[in-house]
Amino acid sequence: MGVGALGGGSIFAAPPGWAPPKNANLVFGVVSDTHLRTTYGSSGRPGRRWPHKYFAAALAYFREQNVDAVVHCGDFAHRGQVEEMCFHARVWNRIFPKNLAPDGHEVVKLFVTGNHDADGAGYGSFVKNKYPDPTVRAKHVLQTDMAANWERIWGEKYEPVWHKEVKGYHFFGRNYKESKEDLVSCLKRHAAALSESKAKGRPCFYMQHTRPLWDVRKMLRHLCRGCVPVSFFGHNHWSASSWNVISLYKGGVPCIQVPSCEPRGCGGLVGDGWITEAKIERTKQVCRGRQGYVVRVYDDMLVISRREFGAGGSLGEDWVMPFGTLRPHPFSREGLKKAAGEPQFRAGSKLVIEEGKEEGKEIKISIPLADGNPKCRVYAYEVEIAGKSGAVRKAIYAAGCNLGMGHEPDGGTTTLLVGRSELPKGERFSVSATPLTSVGTRGKAIFMVYCSA
């Protein structure tokens, strides 16, 4: 099934009942900001390899998906230590021994360094305090000799900007703080390959740790010779639960923020303050996820699946990017909003209102999970409390929106506490809850009338 069957290709979400073809031309996994460390926090309590299980879970899932390559957008090490990078290599070699998948095909490493990897000071005083002798300390810091350390740990040459070809698709990676001149030289050296990709209608892929700035995006667009570069970057730890991590930036380069897969989890929800007039409240129910992507590339589209690697599970509907000139482009705000769909409550869903923990001072509004549209995951709820004297509007992130579907805490019920002093005056008021997506599409509200004691 090609993009023509997807409504002319001008969408960026898989519609209900649709699945991509089984055999992709290329499959690769994507993670970033794993931040493994030798000790936990400032307490200094032992924590060797603390904990590598989420990175291992990501690689194990990628192996299960039979990937051809794995992208890591940097910040392997938390404090720039050689040992922290070695933790990653040990996990990699256990899951992909000799860089091979179970069926024997090579799994290509598409890795770039981040600011934590390239920091010679070891982030703050930690490394300095751990190794007071400068000579000894230098042996433990990656940046002392990144090229030698990289080759010893990963078994491949360190290049400031690299190019790798995987199954006929071209990947470029720029290590942290390496020069733009190296990037220009690398792209020019592979101009013929990029022209060939353009002729075949194929994209190329570009990775670096931080978001590519305007001049880099302009450079990519110009030097890639019409072969659209799709960029992946990390650094910000923003959750892929929010559609706002994908953008068509000025310069025409689609950029995809890669969420964090670090042990502490990824909880950053970004760029969604405008979807409701009320400030969206965050509670512990939101939880922190360890996230990443699986990208499948076909002749006429790429499909991005979002995954949580802690408890497991999908973060929501797949993102689909058809190739070619599209109006609106799927990465544009207009395109995203058109594609996002509307989250809905199941038929018969009801609000529950009762006394909060501070009885007489607050009420607790329990909102059932709005999973009535299985292809559109709820992101937040707008709650309106209306009485004779006026209305109060609140908003709250959906419980477990950073976790995989089916792994939400409390069965997905989201709890909102409202102080009685905030309520409209009187003994009777109505309460409504409307499900929202992170790009502002809205489902149908559910209502109830509450008589205050």
Regarding whether 403 and 307 lie in a shared domain, the answer is no
pLDDT average, residue stretch 9-18: 47
Regarding whether 196 and 72 lie in a shared domain, the answer is yes
Regarding whether 383 and 248 lie in a shared domain, the answer is no
For the cut 90, the answer to whether the pLDDT of residue 100 exceeds it is: yes
- Nearest CA to 296 among 103, 21, 17? 21
- Listed in sequence order, the residues at least 6 apart from 250 whose beta carbon sits closer than 8 Å to its beta carbon are 214, 217
Confidence band of 370 (pLDDT split at 50, 70, 90): very high
Contact call for residues 38 and 241 (beta carbons, < 8 A): no
Phi then psi for residue 93, to 5 deg, are -70, -25
Looking at per-residue pLDDT, the higher value among 50 and 179 belongs to 179
In a domain, 347, yes or no: no
Report the DSSP beta bridge partners of residue 394: 383
Say which CATH number the domain at 419 has: 2.60.40.10
In a domain, 346, yes or no: no
Regarding whether 57 and 17 lie in a shared domain, the answer is yes
Confidence band of 201 (pLDDT split at 50, 70, 90): confident
In a domain, 345, yes or no: no
Q: What is the pTM of this model?
A: 0.91
Query: Which of 340, 365, 389 is where one domain is finished?
Result: 340
Q: Which domain holds residue 384?
A: 352-451
Say which CATH number the domain at 329 has: 3.60.21.10
Q: In 200-242, which ranges are continuous DSSP H helix? A: 214-223
Regarding whether 284 and 154 lie in a shared domain, the answer is yes
For the cut 50, the answer to whether the pLDDT of residue 2 exceeds it is: no
3-state secondary structure of 76: coil
Regarding whether 328 and 375 lie in a shared domain, the answer is no
Regarding whether 386 and 360 lie in a shared domain, the answer is yes
For the cut 50, the answer to whether the pLDDT of residue 4 exceeds it is: no
Most confident of 271-275, 308-312, 321-325: 308-312
In a domain, 22, yes or no: yes
239 burial class (0-12, 13-18, 19+ CB within 10 angstroms)? buried
Query: Which of 340, 375, 406 is where one domain is finished?
Result: 340
